[in-house]
Amino acid sequence: MTKKQKKNLIRIITASAMMIVFLFLPVQGWLRFVLFLVPYLVIGYDILIKAGKGVINRQPFDECFLMAVATIGAMVIAVTGDGDYIEAIAVMLFYQIGEWFQSYAVGKSRKNISELMDIRPDYANIETDGELEQVDPDDVEVGTVIVVQPGEKIPIDGVVVEGSSSLDTVALTGESVPRSVAVGDEVISGCINKNGLLRIRTTKEFGESTVSKILDLVENASSRKSRSEDFITRFARVYTPVVVFSALALAVLPPLFRMLVMSADGNWANWIYRALTFLVISCPCALVISVPLSFFAGIGGASREGILIKGSNYLEILSKTKTVVFDKTGTLTKGVFEVTVIHPEQVSENMLLHLAAHVERYSTHPIAVSLRNAYPDEADDCEITDVEELAGKGIRARVNGDVICVGNEKLMNSVGAKHKDCGHTGTVIHVSKNGEYFGHIVISDIVKPGSEKAIAGLKKAGVRKTIMLTGDAKKTAEKTAEELKIDEVYSGLLPADKVSRVEELIEHQSENGVVAFVGDGINDAPVLSRADIGIAMGAMGSDAAIEASDVVLMDDDPLKLVKAIRISRKCLRIVNENIWFSIGIKVLCLILGALGAANMWAAIFADVGVMVLAVLNSIRALR
Ligand code: ADP
Ligand code: MG
């Protein structure tokens, strides 16, 4: 409980106690009024002040205003009439109980989210003269060696320079299997070092590290409003004045009618009372509170699973996804290629591989990494200059002055090398030297274990169409698509072609619905930002992907995608339940109130009841 919650609880208890005691005191007239004014002010002073401020700022139509008018009215009726002050106090009391409950629930889910995201490191250890010194991670410069002891969080992204250990990544990815790291491995901040002592050379500043990026993202998520939340704001803006004027009409018109037309007694007190009841019932608290809370809880629940959603608007769009477009390499497949055959021309197999590995030295593309791994003892025996990565085609570089190209058919055609076809299935990487064909290396990738299940799971979750886009050759692409049961496949695409494909899909919206693109962030950032919703997969440490996407799946398991869509659908279902439930009950009570069938007690009880139920329902989104 926060201080404010404690204070309000004490107010609630004090006012209730006073009210009960005063009921038994035999005082009448003005003294009775003054007596009951005390608990009324104890429980309602802040609402009266807020309502007064609203009037001064010319924005009177909020729930405080409704409460203030209704309860002051009830007090006035009580003074002039039979003196039942309890009603006014009780209305304030119930309202405050409802408020208290809701603030408690919000606090709880906020705490839940920050606990889930409890990844913020407090310090970094720097070794000076054999002594460890704790410093603010913000002050650590790039390239500094930091020490991470067992049990500590890695504060900054970097590379292990000494030691080995296993890392607990559960806070980041929701994945509980620890990841083992050794010298040379990249590590990202936010993981917990489980056993060995690690020395890490930082590669980024704290502000640029994964942990900072993620925290930023989570903290800003609630500021991006969904359409449902906008709807509620607009709704309240129209609704409250309408209600206030209806209440006014209810208080004035029927008595006037009775007096003027029927020449009867106006029965003013009765109609004013009904109007006040109407006001109390009309307060839209349940709606205003529970909808943002549901989104908040949904985003929180998702982040516990390693799914970061950048805002409620994206959660809402995600839930409507009808077409999912995948990138192939690194998304559906592992992006770890094994060399299957080498077909050299003029040179030895080893030479060809050696040449390819040279050219790929600086690239981060999965193909490059795999070719380097296939030729591990690549020595720095030659000069590599003018390296140029041609996205979707391959790489061109000068090795000891010769122009070497490593890539697909498109690249060979562009330099005029007469490449040969290969009978083997797999991704064929051709090599040319000064425009002359040097042979090819066939590498093969394997699909991720979760991919097939994920495609089936998407269909079950209501996705209509799955599509694969790839820069790879037709044969390999189609084989993969068939294996995974993907509906459509487009191969031989450059990154720009992928963008125009997705644009085409978005244009035919009636047919395709909301189009999601899922990629690994390696040369598909433009598509990620162009799609209705961009989902980056396995994005730990890839800044471009985290920035360009709307949803980040922290590990690279395609099944997370199904989970993300399921979470979003559930959350939206809860939001809709809350909207219709609160509006429905509200309208019903309003009619009963106007007909005189509900008194103020019933009204406030219904209001608080609906709010409590709606808030409880929202919290479900957290699970
Ligand atoms: P995907 O669309 O499957 O993610 P990319 O667009 O990254 O693939 O690459 C498309 C094709 O371009 C690859 O299949 C490969 O033939 C070629 N290519 C891209 N980068 C490289 C590289 N670094 N080395 C060799 N070939 C590459
Ligand atoms: Mg790719």
Q: Name which residue sits closest to atom 4 of ligand 1, judged by CA.
A: 329
For a ligand 1 pocket test, name from 326, 334, 353, 367 the mutation site with the most ligand atoms within 8 angstroms of its C-beta: 367
109 pLDDT tier (thresholds 50, 70, 90): low
Fill in the DSSP letter of residue 333: B
- Three-class DSSP category at 16: helix
How much is the average pLDDT of 466-492?
91
Pocket test for ligand 1, best of 373, 472, 520 (most atoms within 8 A of CB): 472
d(CA 432, CA 419): 9
Q: How confident is the model at residue 200 (pLDDT cuts 50, 70, 90)?
A: very high
pLDDT value at 174 more than 90: no
Q: Looking at the domain that runs over 312-332+448-549, which CATH code has it been given?
A: 3.40.50.1000
327 carries an active-site annotation: yes
pLDDT of residue 563: 93
Position 36 pLDDT exceeds 70: yes
Q: Closest Cα to atom 16, ligand 1: which residue?
A: 408
| pLDDT given at position 110 | 65
Fold match, 141-204 / 312-332+448-549: no
Give the position, in ligand 1's atom list, of the atom nearest the Cα of 428: 16
Both tokens assigned to 283:
């307060």
The CATH fold assigned to 141-204 is: 2.70.150
Q: Report the predicted TM-score, pTM, of the whole model to 2 decimal places.
A: 0.77
Domain boundaries, the chain: 3-114+223-296+571-622, 141-204, 312-332+448-549, 335-447
pLDDT averaged over the chain?
A: 85
Whose alpha carbon is nearest atom 20 of ligand 1? 394
Residue spans of beta strands (DSSP E) within 58-210: 124-128, 131-135, 145-148, 158-162, 165-168, 179-181, 186-187, 192-193, 198-202
Say yes or no to pLDDT of 318 above 90. Answer: yes
Question: How do 488-490 and 514-519 pair as beta strands?
Answer: unpaired
Q: Which residues line ligand 1 (CB under 6 A)?
A: 327-329, 360, 363, 365, 367-368, 392-395, 406-408, 427, 429, 470-472, 522-523
Helix (H) or strand (E) holding 535: strand 533-537
Closest ligand 1 atom to 520 CA: 4
pLDDT at 71: 86
Q: What is the dihedral sign for C-alpha 266, 271, 273, 275?
A: negative
Residue-wise pLDDT tens digits, 71-98: 888 888 888 766 678 888 888 888 888 7
pLDDT over threshold 60, residue 541: no
Q: Which residues contact 231 (CB under 8 A, 6 or more apart)?
A: none
- On the question of pLDDT at 250 being above 80, the answer is yes
The least confident of 28-42, 135-149, 280-294 is 280-294
- Choosing from 327, 445, 555, 557, the catalytic residue is 327
Mean pLDDT of 367-383: 79
Cβ-proximal residues to 57 (8 Å cutoff; 6+ apart), any chain? none
Tell me what percent of the residues of the chain surpass a pLDDT of 90.
Answer: 29
Secondary-structure class of domain 335-447 per CATH? alpha beta
Q: Return d(Cα 428, Cα 437) in angstroms, integer.
A: 14
Q: How far is the CA of 558 from the centre of ligand 1 (A)?
A: 20
Q: How confident is the model at residue 113 (pLDDT cuts 50, 70, 90)?
A: low
- Hey, whose CA ends up nearest to atom 24 of ligand 1? 394
